[in-house]
């Protein structure tokens, strides 16, 4: 496969995954903002939404304050934000057009229909909760439709493996960021860990990654920060956990190495991170510092993305 085609497939999958993640962040922030004041207190959910999306610097260049209106506009529609939902869909469609013959009909239909549907939405029309909920549902359904189309219809060859690598690299980064921001930014200094606001915030985070039901199935008890972290970091059964993402990354990189007849830095880096996650214990992570662990992971994940680009996509 040409490196240009592989690069387009890799980033097409990443941008679709990123758009879905942004929709989940907006949904979680809206749910927290709608909490009764007795629970919400002085929480800064809209500031945390910008921080979780990784675009705080760009946001505060355009806006003085993080409010519902400014954050939703910036994360969903702003042309000044290269990672807004609109920008993600636009770049994804451009990449899809460039590799149209490498996609199945169902994959192309999913991304093309999403781009056409997106033109019906405007930031000014999302002030009502019902309209916002419909928009976020549309974005999430697009991600599910595209991902499901790839899984069900794509030939298991290098094109599929590059696409899955894009999904999992992006998903691992997103899960790590949402966990880190919750632990260090979302809970105000005046609130206590384990209080009512802390409980509702962890609940919103789990809902944001579709893991609330899974949490209760696995742990069968009330929400506890270290168990939420265990689920999202170390539990292979949780599809959005760091461990599950890296299991998939290692598997797809190994498939590429078998097809191309050689391994390289990307395989070694992925396997090293996977081994680190397999050998980690949540007690040790909290003792040494969750923030430090997640920061190191994000750095390693970015290095892996760069190694994949260097080895296959240039």
Euclidean distance between CA atoms 128 and 182, whole angstroms: 26
Q: CA gyration radius for the chain?
A: 19
Q: Is the pLDDT of residue 309 over 90?
A: yes
Residue 196's pLDDT is 62
What pLDDT, in 10s, does the model give residues 19-36?
Answer: 999 999 998 888 878 776
- pLDDT tens per residue, range 39-81: 554 557 888 889 888 898 999 999 999 998 999 999 999 998 9
C-alpha pair distances (Å), 229 with each of 90, 232, 265, 290, 291: 33, 5, 29, 9, 11
pLDDT digits (tens, 9 = 90+) for 268-299: 999 999 999 999 999 999 898 888 999 999 99
User: How far does CA 314 lie from the centroid of its chain?
Assistant: 25
Please give the pLDDT value at position 199: 75
Whether the pLDDT of residue 124 is over 90: the answer is no
Closest to 209 measured CA to CA, from 184, 228, 194, 222: 228
- pLDDT recorded at residue 235: 96
From 131, 139, 144, 114, select the one nearest 24 (Cα to Cα): 139
Q: At 299, is the secondary structure helix, strand, or coil?
A: helix
Residues 92-123 have pLDDT tens digits of: 999 999 999 999 999 999 999 999 999 888 87
**Sign of the C-alpha dihedral computed for residues 124, 125, 130 and 136 taken in this order:** negative
Angle at 207 between CA 183 and CA 72, to 5 degrees: 80
Q: What's the pLDDT tens digit per position in 233-255?
A: 999 999 999 999 999 999 999 99
Q: Which of 27, 13, 143 is nearest to 76 (CA)?
A: 27
Q: What is the pLDDT of residue 59?
A: 94
The values of phi and psi at residue 96, to 5°, are -65, -40
Q: Is the pLDDT of residue 191 over 50?
A: no
The set of residues, in sequence order, having a beta carbon less than 8 Å from that of 58 and lying 6+ positions away, is 74, 80, 81
pLDDT tens, position by position, 125-180: 777 778 899 999 999 999 999 999 999 999 999 999 999 999 999 999 999 988 87
Cα–Cα dist 277/264, whole Å: 21
pLDDT at 182: 67
């Amino acid at each position: 496969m040409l490196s240009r085609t592989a690069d387009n497939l890799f980033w097409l999958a990443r941008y679709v995954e990123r758009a879905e993640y942004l929709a989940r962040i907006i949904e979680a922030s809206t749910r927290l903002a709608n909490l009764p004041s007795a629970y919400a207190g002085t929480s800064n959910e809209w500031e945390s939404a910008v921080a979780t999306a990784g675009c705080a610097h760009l946001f505060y260049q355009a806006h003085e304050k993080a409010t519902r209106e400014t954050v939703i506009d910036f994360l969903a529609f702003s042309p000044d934000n290269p990672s807004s939902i609109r920008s993600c869909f636009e770049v994804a469609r451009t990449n899809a057009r460039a590799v149209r013959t490498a996609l199945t009909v169902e994959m192309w239909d999913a991304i093309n229909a999403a781009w056409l549907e997106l033109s019906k939405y405007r930031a000014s029309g999302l002030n009502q909760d019902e309209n916002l909920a419909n928009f976020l549902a549309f974005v999430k359904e697009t991600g599910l439709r595209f991902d499901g189309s790839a899984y069900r219809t794509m030939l298991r060859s290098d094109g599929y493996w590059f696409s899955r690598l894009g999904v999992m690299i992006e998903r691992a980064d997103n899960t790590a960021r949402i966990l880190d921001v919750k632990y260090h930014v979302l809970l105000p200094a005046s609130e206590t860990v384990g209080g009512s606001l802390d409980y509702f915030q962890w609940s919103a985070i789990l809902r944001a990654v579709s893991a609330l039901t899974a949490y209760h199935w696995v742990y069968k008890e009330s929400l506890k920060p270290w168990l939420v972290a265990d689920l999202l970091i170390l539990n292979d059964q949780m599809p959005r956990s760091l461990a599950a993402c890296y299991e998939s990354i290692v598997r797809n990189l190994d498939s590429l190495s078998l097809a191309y007849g050689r391994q390289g830095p990307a395989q070694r880096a992925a396997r090293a991170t996977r081994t680190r996650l397999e050998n980690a214990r949540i007690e040790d992570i909290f003792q040494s510092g969750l923030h430090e662990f997640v920061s190191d992971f994000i750095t390693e994940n970015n290095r892996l993305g760069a190694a994949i680009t260097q080895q296959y996509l240039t």
